[in-house]
Chain A
Protein backbone atom coordinates (compact mmCIF):
# COMPACT_ATOMS: atom_id res chain seq x y z
CA UNK A 1 0.00 0.00 0.00
CA UNK A 2 3.12 2.24 0.40
CA UNK A 3 1.98 5.03 -1.80
CA UNK A 4 -1.59 4.98 -0.51
CA UNK A 5 -0.89 4.90 3.18
CA UNK A 6 1.65 6.62 5.31
CA UNK A 7 2.45 6.76 8.98
CA UNK A 8 0.76 9.87 10.29
CA UNK A 9 1.25 9.45 14.01
CA UNK A 10 4.54 9.44 15.85
CA UNK A 11 3.09 7.02 18.35
CA UNK A 12 3.23 4.37 15.65
CA UNK A 13 6.96 4.48 15.13
CA UNK A 14 8.53 5.89 18.19
CA UNK A 15 8.98 5.45 21.90
CA UNK A 16 5.92 6.75 23.62
CA UNK A 17 6.16 8.35 27.01
CA UNK A 18 2.76 8.89 28.57
CA UNK A 19 4.35 10.67 31.52
CA UNK A 20 5.49 13.49 29.31
CA UNK A 21 2.37 13.24 27.19
CA UNK A 22 -0.05 13.92 30.01
CA UNK A 23 -2.68 16.45 29.07
CA UNK A 24 -5.37 15.91 31.65
CA UNK A 25 -8.53 17.54 30.39
CA UNK A 26 -11.82 16.65 32.00
CA UNK A 27 -14.96 18.75 31.74
CA UNK A 28 -18.48 18.96 33.05
CA UNK A 29 -21.15 20.76 31.06
CA UNK A 30 -24.54 22.10 31.98
CA UNK A 31 -27.20 22.03 29.29
CA UNK A 32 -27.91 25.72 29.81
CA UNK A 33 -31.04 27.70 30.56
CA UNK A 34 -32.92 26.36 27.52
CA UNK A 35 -31.26 22.95 27.46
CA UNK A 36 -32.14 22.25 31.09
CA UNK A 37 -35.81 22.80 30.36
CA UNK A 38 -35.64 20.92 27.04
CA UNK A 39 -34.22 17.85 28.76
CA UNK A 40 -36.68 18.14 31.67
CA UNK A 41 -39.59 17.94 29.23
CA UNK A 42 -37.90 15.09 27.40
CA UNK A 43 -37.29 13.16 30.60
CA UNK A 44 -40.54 13.84 32.44
CA UNK A 45 -43.12 14.14 29.64
CA UNK A 46 -41.48 12.33 26.67
CA UNK A 47 -41.95 15.51 24.70
CA UNK A 48 -39.72 17.37 22.30
CA UNK A 49 -39.91 21.13 22.58
CA UNK A 50 -38.77 23.88 20.32
CA UNK A 51 -38.75 27.64 20.69
CA UNK A 52 -40.34 29.87 18.10
CA UNK A 53 -39.05 33.31 17.19
CA UNK A 54 -41.97 35.59 16.42
CA UNK A 55 -39.84 37.92 14.34
CA UNK A 56 -38.40 35.51 11.78
CA UNK A 57 -40.88 32.69 12.43
CA UNK A 58 -38.14 30.10 12.88
CA UNK A 59 -38.89 27.24 15.27
CA UNK A 60 -35.63 26.03 16.78
CA UNK A 61 -35.32 22.38 17.76
CA UNK A 62 -33.77 21.72 20.23
CA UNK A 63 -35.25 24.71 22.08
CA UNK A 64 -32.97 27.69 22.55
CA UNK A 65 -32.70 30.73 24.76
CA UNK A 66 -32.32 33.10 21.83
CA UNK A 67 -32.86 33.43 18.10
CA UNK A 68 -29.43 33.45 16.52
CA UNK A 69 -30.74 35.36 13.49
CA UNK A 70 -32.76 38.17 15.15
CA UNK A 71 -31.08 38.02 18.55
CA UNK A 72 -34.47 38.04 20.24
CA UNK A 73 -34.76 36.41 23.63
CA UNK A 74 -37.06 33.37 23.41
CA UNK A 75 -39.22 33.23 26.49
CA UNK A 76 -41.61 30.85 28.18
CA UNK A 77 -44.44 31.78 25.82
CA UNK A 78 -42.31 30.92 22.80
CA UNK A 79 -41.95 27.25 23.78
CA UNK A 80 -43.82 24.91 21.46
CA UNK A 81 -44.40 21.17 21.59
CA UNK A 82 -43.20 19.99 18.17
CA UNK A 83 -44.26 16.38 18.53
CA UNK A 84 -41.95 13.40 18.44
CA UNK A 85 -41.93 12.72 14.73
CA UNK A 86 -39.62 14.02 12.05
CA UNK A 87 -38.19 13.49 8.61
CA UNK A 88 -34.71 12.24 7.71
CA UNK A 89 -32.79 15.27 6.42
CA UNK A 90 -29.67 13.17 5.89
CA UNK A 91 -28.14 9.95 7.19
CA UNK A 92 -24.84 8.14 7.24
CA UNK A 93 -23.49 4.72 8.13
CA UNK A 94 -20.68 5.14 10.63
CA UNK A 95 -18.07 2.38 10.42
CA UNK A 96 -15.48 3.75 12.84
CA UNK A 97 -15.45 4.13 16.60
CA UNK A 98 -14.43 7.33 18.32
CA UNK A 99 -10.96 5.78 18.62
CA UNK A 100 -10.79 5.40 14.85
CA UNK A 101 -11.09 1.59 14.96
CA UNK A 102 -13.47 -0.38 12.72
CA UNK A 103 -16.82 -1.02 14.42
CA UNK A 104 -18.06 -4.58 14.69
CA UNK A 105 -21.44 -3.39 13.58
CA UNK A 106 -21.83 -0.04 11.86
CA UNK A 107 -24.29 2.50 13.24
CA UNK A 108 -26.90 4.41 11.35
CA UNK A 109 -26.82 8.09 12.33
CA UNK A 110 -29.29 10.62 10.98
CA UNK A 111 -30.11 14.29 11.00
CA UNK A 112 -33.82 14.30 11.72
CA UNK A 113 -35.72 17.41 10.80
CA UNK A 114 -38.39 18.46 13.29
CA UNK A 115 -40.08 21.82 12.65
CA UNK A 116 -37.22 24.09 11.47
CA UNK A 117 -34.63 22.29 13.56
CA UNK A 118 -32.68 19.08 13.49
CA UNK A 119 -31.92 16.42 16.06
CA UNK A 120 -28.88 14.27 15.44
CA UNK A 121 -29.59 10.74 16.59
CA UNK A 122 -29.31 7.03 15.90
CA UNK A 123 -31.79 5.23 13.68
CA UNK A 124 -33.14 1.91 14.87
CA UNK A 125 -35.40 -0.88 13.71
CA UNK A 126 -34.33 -0.45 10.11
CA UNK A 127 -31.55 -1.61 7.83
CA UNK A 128 -28.93 0.64 6.16
CA UNK A 129 -30.37 -0.05 2.77
CA UNK A 130 -33.90 0.91 3.79
CA UNK A 131 -33.13 4.43 5.00
CA UNK A 132 -33.73 7.32 2.62
CA UNK A 133 -33.77 11.10 2.77
CA UNK A 134 -37.36 12.18 3.35
CA UNK A 135 -38.29 9.08 5.35
CA UNK A 136 -40.64 9.72 8.28
CA UNK A 137 -39.36 8.61 11.66
CA UNK A 138 -40.47 8.83 15.29
CA UNK A 139 -38.59 9.02 18.56
CA UNK A 140 -38.31 5.84 20.59
CA UNK A 141 -37.87 6.88 24.23
CA UNK A 142 -36.05 4.89 26.86
CA UNK A 143 -38.04 3.50 29.76
CA UNK A 144 -38.68 6.28 32.26
CA UNK A 145 -36.54 4.70 34.95
CA UNK A 146 -33.51 4.71 32.62
CA UNK A 147 -33.71 8.37 31.70
CA UNK A 148 -30.97 10.64 33.01
CA UNK A 149 -31.86 14.03 31.52
CA UNK A 150 -29.96 14.09 28.25
CA UNK A 151 -30.20 13.41 24.55
CA UNK A 152 -29.83 9.67 25.19
CA UNK A 153 -33.24 9.66 26.94
CA UNK A 154 -34.32 9.06 23.36
CA UNK A 155 -33.03 5.59 22.50
CA UNK A 156 -33.23 6.09 18.73
CA UNK A 157 -35.59 7.14 15.96
CA UNK A 158 -37.52 4.43 14.11
CA UNK A 159 -39.56 4.37 10.89
CA UNK A 160 -43.19 5.36 11.24
Chain B
Protein backbone atom coordinates (compact mmCIF):
# COMPACT_ATOMS: atom_id res chain seq x y z
CA UNK B 1 0.00 0.00 0.00
CA UNK B 2 2.95 2.30 0.49
CA UNK B 3 2.94 3.30 -3.16
CA UNK B 4 0.14 5.73 -2.25
CA UNK B 5 2.59 7.82 -0.34
CA UNK B 6 3.83 10.18 -3.01
CA UNK B 7 5.99 13.24 -2.95
CA UNK B 8 6.31 15.62 -5.85
CA UNK B 9 8.17 18.87 -6.48
CA UNK B 10 10.69 20.68 -4.31
CA UNK B 11 13.63 21.12 -6.70
CA UNK B 12 16.66 21.87 -4.57
CA UNK B 13 18.98 24.71 -5.60
CA UNK B 14 22.38 25.60 -4.25
CA UNK B 15 23.50 29.10 -3.43
CA UNK B 16 26.02 28.65 -6.26
CA UNK B 17 23.21 28.14 -8.81
CA UNK B 18 22.00 31.61 -7.98
CA UNK B 19 25.38 33.29 -7.58
CA UNK B 20 26.56 32.02 -10.94
CA UNK B 21 23.52 33.47 -12.70
CA UNK B 22 22.34 30.06 -13.87
CA UNK B 23 19.10 30.57 -11.98
CA UNK B 24 17.46 33.97 -12.44
CA UNK B 25 16.33 35.82 -9.36
CA UNK B 26 14.80 39.19 -8.58
CA UNK B 27 15.39 41.01 -5.33
CA UNK B 28 13.16 43.48 -3.56
CA UNK B 29 12.78 45.10 -0.18
CA UNK B 30 9.71 46.55 1.40
CA UNK B 31 11.17 49.94 2.27
CA UNK B 32 8.07 50.96 4.14
CA UNK B 33 8.72 52.53 7.51
CA UNK B 34 6.29 52.36 10.41
CA UNK B 35 5.54 54.87 13.15
CA UNK B 36 3.47 52.86 15.57
CA UNK B 37 1.15 54.86 17.77
CA UNK B 38 2.34 54.06 21.26
CA UNK B 39 -1.02 54.75 22.84
CA UNK B 40 -1.73 56.06 26.31
CA UNK B 41 -0.22 53.30 28.41
CA UNK B 42 3.04 52.71 26.57
CA UNK B 43 3.50 56.43 26.02
CA UNK B 44 3.52 56.97 29.78
CA UNK B 45 5.71 53.88 30.29
CA UNK B 46 8.32 55.33 27.93
CA UNK B 47 8.06 58.82 29.45
CA UNK B 48 8.68 57.37 32.91
CA UNK B 49 11.63 55.33 31.65
CA UNK B 50 13.11 58.61 30.48
CA UNK B 51 12.83 59.81 34.08
CA UNK B 52 14.58 56.67 35.31
CA UNK B 53 11.45 55.04 36.70
CA UNK B 54 9.34 52.02 35.81
CA UNK B 55 5.59 52.47 35.95
CA UNK B 56 2.83 49.86 35.96
CA UNK B 57 -0.97 49.92 36.06
CA UNK B 58 -3.17 48.22 38.62
CA UNK B 59 -6.51 46.55 37.94
CA UNK B 60 -9.06 47.69 40.50
CA UNK B 61 -10.82 44.34 40.35
CA UNK B 62 -8.17 41.61 40.35
CA UNK B 63 -5.56 43.92 41.92
CA UNK B 64 -2.86 42.76 39.56
CA UNK B 65 -0.07 45.30 39.10
CA UNK B 66 0.67 44.88 35.42
CA UNK B 67 3.84 45.40 33.48
CA UNK B 68 4.20 46.64 30.80
CA UNK B 69 1.36 48.95 31.82
CA UNK B 70 -1.90 48.70 29.94
CA UNK B 71 -5.05 50.73 29.80
CA UNK B 72 -7.21 47.71 30.39
CA UNK B 73 -7.05 44.46 32.32
CA UNK B 74 -7.21 41.72 29.73
CA UNK B 75 -8.64 39.21 32.20
CA UNK B 76 -11.31 41.29 33.98
CA UNK B 77 -11.87 43.25 30.79
CA UNK B 78 -12.29 46.60 32.46
CA UNK B 79 -10.34 49.84 31.94
CA UNK B 80 -7.46 50.64 34.32
CA UNK B 81 -6.19 54.03 35.31
CA UNK B 82 -4.44 53.39 38.59
CA UNK B 83 -0.74 53.97 38.03
CA UNK B 84 1.90 52.47 40.32
CA UNK B 85 5.63 53.00 40.30
CA UNK B 86 7.47 49.72 40.72
CA UNK B 87 11.10 49.10 41.66
CA UNK B 88 13.93 48.81 39.19
CA UNK B 89 15.02 45.55 40.77
CA UNK B 90 13.78 42.08 40.00
CA UNK B 91 14.41 38.36 39.75
CA UNK B 92 15.59 36.37 36.75
CA UNK B 93 12.80 34.03 35.66
CA UNK B 94 14.79 32.61 32.78
CA UNK B 95 17.75 33.63 30.60
CA UNK B 96 19.88 32.69 27.61
CA UNK B 97 23.44 33.18 26.44
CA UNK B 98 23.13 34.04 22.79
CA UNK B 99 25.94 33.82 20.25
CA UNK B 100 24.09 35.09 17.19
CA UNK B 101 22.82 38.54 16.22
CA UNK B 102 19.21 39.21 15.36
CA UNK B 103 19.94 38.63 11.67
CA UNK B 104 21.40 35.16 12.44
CA UNK B 105 25.01 36.22 11.82
CA UNK B 106 27.35 34.85 14.44
CA UNK B 107 28.97 37.21 16.93
CA UNK B 108 32.64 37.75 16.33
CA UNK B 109 35.48 36.08 18.18
CA UNK B 110 36.08 37.92 21.44
CA UNK B 111 32.76 39.73 21.32
CA UNK B 112 30.54 39.24 24.38
CA UNK B 113 27.43 37.10 23.91
CA UNK B 114 24.01 38.69 24.30
CA UNK B 115 22.34 37.87 27.59
CA UNK B 116 18.56 38.12 27.22
CA UNK B 117 16.43 37.36 30.25
CA UNK B 118 12.88 37.50 31.51
CA UNK B 119 12.99 39.58 34.68
CA UNK B 120 10.14 39.63 37.17
CA UNK B 121 10.07 43.19 38.44
CA UNK B 122 9.74 43.85 42.16
CA UNK B 123 6.51 45.63 43.02
CA UNK B 124 4.61 44.20 40.07
CA UNK B 125 2.39 41.17 40.60
CA UNK B 126 3.99 37.77 40.76
CA UNK B 127 5.11 36.53 37.38
CA UNK B 128 4.95 39.96 35.71
CA UNK B 129 8.16 39.90 33.76
CA UNK B 130 9.68 41.99 31.02
CA UNK B 131 12.28 40.93 28.51
CA UNK B 132 15.60 42.72 28.82
CA UNK B 133 19.29 42.00 28.75
CA UNK B 134 21.83 41.33 31.49
CA UNK B 135 25.22 42.96 31.94
CA UNK B 136 28.22 43.19 34.30
CA UNK B 137 28.04 39.45 34.87
CA UNK B 138 30.00 36.37 33.85
CA UNK B 139 27.62 34.33 31.66
CA UNK B 140 28.46 31.13 33.57
CA UNK B 141 27.39 32.73 36.84
CA UNK B 142 23.85 33.63 35.79
CA UNK B 143 21.22 31.62 37.64
CA UNK B 144 17.46 31.50 37.49
CA UNK B 145 16.21 33.16 40.65
CA UNK B 146 19.13 35.63 40.78
CA UNK B 147 18.29 39.17 41.98
CA UNK B 148 19.13 41.95 39.53
CA UNK B 149 18.89 45.72 39.27
CA UNK B 150 18.52 48.08 36.32
CA UNK B 151 21.54 50.07 35.17
CA UNK B 152 20.22 53.29 33.67
CA UNK B 153 21.76 55.36 30.95
CA UNK B 154 22.83 58.86 32.06
CA UNK B 155 19.79 61.15 32.17
CA UNK B 156 20.96 63.20 29.19
CA UNK B 157 21.19 60.14 26.97
CA UNK B 158 17.72 58.78 27.70
CA UNK B 159 15.21 59.05 24.88
CA UNK B 160 12.07 57.46 26.27
CA UNK B 161 12.80 53.93 25.19
CA UNK B 162 13.23 50.51 26.71
CA UNK B 163 16.92 51.04 25.97
CA UNK B 164 17.05 53.81 28.60
CA UNK B 165 17.82 50.86 30.83
CA UNK B 166 21.22 49.73 29.57
CA UNK B 167 20.86 46.32 31.16
CA UNK B 168 20.15 44.61 34.45
CA UNK B 169 23.11 43.62 36.66
CA UNK B 170 23.27 41.25 39.62
CA UNK B 171 22.55 42.85 42.98
Contact = CB atoms under 8 A, between A and B. Distances in A.
Given A26-B27, A27-B28, A11 B35 contact: yes
Contact of B24 (A19, A26, A148): A148
Interface string B90-103: 00000000000001
B24 A30 contact: yes
Interface string A5-45: 00000110010111111111111111101011001100000
B37 interface: yes
Interface of A: 10-11, 14, 16-31, 33, 35-36, 39-40, 148-150
A14 B38 CA distance: 12
Interface string B35-62: 1110000000000000000000000000
Given A11-B33, A30-B24, A36-B23, 8 more contacts: A16-B35, A19-B161, A23-B33, A23-B34, A25-B29, A26-B30, A31-B25, A149-B24
A33 to B, nearest CB: 7
7 contacts: A20-B35, A23-B33, A24-B103, A26-B29, A30-B13, A40-B24, A149-B21
A24 B34 CA distance: 11
Given A10-B37, A14-B35, A27 B29 contact: yes
